[in-house]
């Protein structure tokens, strides 16, 4: 993990800012994500809940969708800001991220933003699904 620590804090600030735009009327669990692409651009996302819970979008997948729709496929790191000590990406988000390689995952509890958890995606999802074509 050769990224400078200040890059991780910059990503977390962007994720925390995105968190303010969450649409979470049911759970009140607001999450923000910030994805650093290989071109240096940061793509943010926020969770978007739906009354039909299965249609809810996670912040991480929203950020990935924005980056991919902008032509990006190389991701360096993603930061997740959540309101409690559970800011890790869910399995579905890990699988979506794994489609594009093994990025760095940076998490922090909104109540303790200086305490970072930094891991490789492959540590969170060591056996990502791969389609053998």
Catalytic site residues? 60
Look at residue 52 and give its three-state secondary structure: coil
CB distance 45 to 59 below 8 Å: yes
Look at residue 65 and give its three-state secondary structure: helix
CA atoms within a 13 Å half-sphere pointing along the CA-CB vector of 11:
31
Biggest CA–CA distance in the chain, Å, is: 45
């Amino acid at each position: 993990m050769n990224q400078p620590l200040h890059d991780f804090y910059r990503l977390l600030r962007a994720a925390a800012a995105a968190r303010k735009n969450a649409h979470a009327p049911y759970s009140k669990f607001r999450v923000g994500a910030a994805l650093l692409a290989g071109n240096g651009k940061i793509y943010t996302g926020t969770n978007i809940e739906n009354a039909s819970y299965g249609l809810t979008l996670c912040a991480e997948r929203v950020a990935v969708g924005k980056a991919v729709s902008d032509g990006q496929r190389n991701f360096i790191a993603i930061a997740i800001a959540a309101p409690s000590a559970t800011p890790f990406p869910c399995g579905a988000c890990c699988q979506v991220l794994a489609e594009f390689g093994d990025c760095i995952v940076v998490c922090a509890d909104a109540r303790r933003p200086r305490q970072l958890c930094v891991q490789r995606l492959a540590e969170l999802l060591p056996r990502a699904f791969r389609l053998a074509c």
